[in-house]
Chain A
Amino acid sequence: MALTEQELRSLDYEPDTGGHFGDYGGRYVSETLMAALSELDQNYQKLKNDPDFQREFDADLASFVGRPSPLYHAERWSKATGGAQIYFKREDLNHTGAHKVNNTIGQALLAKYSRKPRVIAETGAGQHGVASATVAARLGLECVVYMGADDVERQSPNVYRMKLLGATVVPVESGSRTLKDALNEAMRDWVTNVDDTFYIIGTVAGPAPYPQIVRDFNAVVGREVKWQSKELFGQYPDALVACVGGGSNAIGLFYPFLKDTEVAIYGVEAAGRGLSTRQHAAPLCSGRPGVLHGAKTYLMDTNDGQIAHTHSVSAGLDYPGVGPEHAYLKDIGRANYVGATDEQALCAFHEVSQVEGIIPALETAHALAYAKTLAATMRSDQTVVVNMSGRGDKDIFTVAKLDGISLT
């Protein structure tokens, strides 16, 4: 139910003690994991306010990731769009090429402080797997990454990257052989090896406290935009735009602005071949509430409640669920969720590459596609900040193939 603006300003946007955001979130897992999740929750709530932990996290973000990332005025593209001024939050310039590393640094530190010598992760396109392998290498932790067998084939450069970094990549043959199956397999590993293993979840999905942890580690993005926008144009942006698969880059940008209701918020889902087809990955736009991977949230399922196969040109958005906090923000009316099709995303991918000299990730291209439409409806003295969540190097093979070009 949509809340009034005054109500939206007065919320604290924190989950309850059971990890619920309104009706969503929670801990829908089998009993074996309950103890591990509550141990993680206790450790996290303690470390969150531990100055040593925070100092180490901030230092790593500065010296290893390269933060703060710039807020960049896309002047030529803004002019071409003919409306609001568009700014890119340059998460693509982070070490490993995406926002993902903000979270993996944080969670790997949690593993270290919790004395777990082994970390596991799931990955779709491979970005979170690479980010996890990277920080595991740096901290000397054993790292196992689960990846759908189809994704292993589609994303071979990232598979090799993970191996170079010393991680073991396990192809998952079950189910649809993609991200959701990798997540199932990682949960199975965790259930079996819960004593010595820390599970680094890559997005704001999963059982509590993960949605909160991943959000908090990514919130550095929105906090930087707050001071950077004041510095660059003297006020907060009029609108924020980010792509939403699980939704970690989006929540990282949105969260610090939730109480600032004058800032409009747009999450862009993968509309695939169109929201009216069933070939998309847009649970908030056209799914319904259910339970998947340990949380109640919007998801895509069949009439019988089986999880549906999804489609997106972007592997990182090709997921049938979404973080529970986004489900909550949708219902209370604080954020708007829209879709961009494969075609619109590819168009933005090419345009931004050519007009701004930045090759965006295909995930990010969905946000760019919607930002363009939105900016065109706004005045030229208004501002839109898009989270440039990742760079597109990993996608050049996919795009070339779609354009009928062979790179090998």
Chain B
Amino acid sequence: MSSNRIQQRMDALSAIGRKALIPYIVAGDPTPSVTVPAMHAMVEAGADIIELGMPFSDPFADGPVNQRGAERAIAGGTTLRSVLDAVSKFRQTDQQTPVVLMGYLNPVIAMGETAFCDACEESGVDGLLIVDMPPEEEGSLVQGAKHRGLDLIYLAAPTTTDARLATIGQATSGYLYYVSLKGITGSSKLDTGEVKERIEHIRQHISVPICVGFGIRTAEDAAAISSTADGSIVGTVLVSQIESLTNDPAKIPEALQSILKPMREAMDANA
């Protein structure tokens, strides 16, 4: 059953006092053939869950680095269908590591929400994070996802009120994605002390694990964040590394490992 893979992983980590390292890359960036080897390499480097970006032409919550990643993937011919194919292929040899698809709603609507949820279940996707779909706008995607046991991961932000935290707490499953700062992905003003305070507050409202993303760049950031959160989500720094290797994509899997391994070690040293 795909439905419990995220929870199982979170429970297992919690049992051994370890925190989740969650890397994000854009599927198909810069070419479709890189994605599956990169996913396996990240698992090998200590990733617990993989967030795979579904590229969208107008990613207004993302910074320039992630937007360029999406543009490269689209230019390379990546579609929602090929993102799902990548997950199927990954699942041929890895049935344990949870995969979360992250992206924007319009490509999903274009495929059809129900058809998309069917395809997610078939290819072994575990969770969905749709950046521009807050719980208030839930529709057929939410029904379809619940019906197929896919986790729906929602965001909480520094600006989220307590009243909304309650709504989000009811809607989210798998984990909560806490956006560490007011800004876009890849911003550089992470304040780990402030994040700690917020997480303690959010825990009063929300029972699922809380993972933190936006602005985590270094092993020190990852360690500091995971001293209070249940996991660290790392994206822009990886996409930036991919960008620097667009002409030599064979080196990408190893280059991602060299960023993730120190993060893993720093987080584990913390535990």
Contact = CB atoms under 8 A, between A and B. Distances in A.
Interface of A: 18, 26-36, 174-175, 180-181, 183-184, 187-188, 191-195, 289-294, 296, 299, 301-307
Interface in B131-189: 131-134, 136-137, 154-161, 164, 168, 179, 182-184, 187
A188 B160 contact: no
Interface string B31-57: 000000000000000000000000011
Contact of A194 (B59, B161, B182): B182
B51 to A, nearest CB: 15
Contacts of A290: 105-106, 109-110
Contact of B58 (A33, A293, A304): A293
Given A188-B184, A294-B132, 14 more contacts: A27-B134, A34-B157, A35-B160, A184-B60, A191-B183, A192-B187, A194-B182, A290-B109, A291-B109, A292-B58, A302-B110, A303-B110, A304-B81, A304-B110
A32 B179 contact: yes
Contacts of B60: 30, 183-184, 187-188, 293
Contacts of B245: none
A27 B155 contact: no
Given A18-B136, A180-B58, A184-B60, A192 B159 contact: no
A243 B168 CA distance: 40
A305 B110 CA distance: 5
A174 B71 CA distance: 9
A348 to B, nearest CB: 32
Interface string B49-80: 00000001111110110011001001000011
Most buried by B among A18, A191, A303, A304: A304
B155 to A, nearest CB: 4
B108 interface: yes
Contact of A29 (B67, B132, B164, B168): B132
B62 to A, nearest CB: 8
A114 to B, nearest CB: 15
A304 B79 contact: yes
Contacts of B184: 188, 191-192
Interface of B: 56-61, 63-64, 67-68, 71, 74, 79-81, 104-111, 131-134, 136-137, 154-161, 164, 168, 179, 182-184, 187
B179 A31 contact: yes
A18 to B, nearest CB: 6
A34 B164 contact: yes
Contacts of A299: 106
Contacts of B132: 28-30, 291, 294
Contacts of B67: 174-175
Contacts of A289: 109
A197 to B, nearest CB: 11
Given A27-B134, A291-B109, A194 B61 contact: no
Of the listed residues A188, A290, A292, A299, the one surrounded by the most CB atoms of chain B closer than 10 A to its CB is: A188
A318 B106 CA distance: 20
A304 B111 CA distance: 7
Contacts of B131: 30
B179 A26 contact: no
B160 A34 contact: yes
Nearest to A296: B137
Nearest to A294: B132
B106 A184 contact: no
20 contacts: A26-B136, A28-B132, A28-B137, A30-B157, A31-B134, A32-B179, A35-B157, A35-B159, A35-B161, A174-B67, A174-B68, A175-B58, A175-B67, A192-B187, A194-B159, A293-B58, A299-B106, A304-B80, A304-B111, A305-B107
A188 B183 CA distance: 7
A305 B63 contact: no
A290 B104 CA distance: 11
A192 B185 CA distance: 10
A34 B74 contact: no
Contacts of B154: 31
Nearest to A180: B58
B115 to A, nearest CB: 12
Contacts of B109: 289-291, 305
Given A18-B136, A184-B58, A194-B182, A291 B159 contact: no
Contacts of B105: 28, 290-291
Among B56, B159, B183: residue with most chain A CB under 10 A: B159
Nearest to B154: A31
